[in-house]
């Protein structure tokens, strides 16, 4: 019998949800006009996520982490991380009550890996808007990014741990 942990089930569900969502949006939304870079954009990219029903900061942090996983499903490290990671970054993220990204502030920057710093910032900006914190207003939360040398990552909020 295969032993599937809660974290693996969650990751599989998020990946499945992202796949189904992309499939459905491809079937229902028209392809947008070409941008200057020559890549097609669809209306699905500008769609706002479901509002967060979080009643406290811990619950919102979980919702935001799930949102980041959905936005970056192809780059999530599945399973337990190895004992040595390429980079670890701690970042405070400020989100407006409507889910728009207000600011990012590094608390622990992986200065030995500037490409990771840029990639994390790019992923956060691309994932905006975040779920609107309908019960909390503006949010400021901290997330730890656990970065593997393969370019895949886990967030501390949803990590499966290390071996």
For 48-73, what is each residue's pLDDT tens digit? 788 999 999 999 999 999 999 999 99
Running DSSP on this structure, what letter comes out for residue 37? T
All residue ranges of the chain with pLDDT < 70 are: 1-47
Domain assignment present for 128: yes
- 150 lies in which domain range? 6-158
Domain assignment present for 123: yes
Domain assignment present for 163: no
Supply the pLDDT for residue 49. Answer: 83
Supply the pLDDT for residue 15. Answer: 57
Supply the pLDDT for residue 158. Answer: 97
Domain assignment present for 43: yes
Supply the pLDDT for residue 2. Answer: 53
Measure CA 96 to chain center.
17
Nearest Cα residue to 64 out of 47, 50, 45, 81: 50
Domain assignment present for 1: no
Domain assignment present for 137: yes
State the total domains in the chain: 1
Domain assignment present for 113: yes
Supply the pLDDT for residue 48. Answer: 78
CATH of the domain at 46: 3.30.1150
Domain assignment present for 59: yes
Instruction: Check residue 151 and give left, alpha or beta (phi > 0: left; psi -120 to 50: alpha).
Output: left
């Amino acid at each position: 019998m295969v032993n599937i942990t809660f974290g693996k089930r969650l990751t599989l569900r998020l990946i499945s949800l992202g796949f189904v969502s992309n499939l459905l949006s491809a079937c229902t939304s028209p392809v947008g006009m070409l941008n200057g870079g020559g890549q097609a954009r669809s209306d699905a990219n500008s769609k706002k996520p479901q509002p967060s029903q979080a009643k406290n900061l811990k619950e919102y942090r979980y919702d935001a982490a799930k949102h980041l996983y959905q936005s970056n499903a192809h780059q999530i490290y599945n399973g337990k991380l190895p004992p040595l990671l390429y980079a670890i970054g701690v970042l405070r993220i400020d989100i407006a009550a409507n889910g728009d990204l207000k600011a990012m502030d590094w608390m622990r920057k992986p200065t030995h890996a500037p490409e990771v710093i840029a990639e994390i910032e790019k992923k956060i900006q691309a994932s905006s808007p975040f779920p609107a914190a309908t019960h909390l207003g503006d949010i400021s939360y901290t997330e730890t990014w656990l970065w593997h040398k393969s370019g895949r990552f886990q967030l501390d909020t949803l990590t499966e741990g290390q071996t």
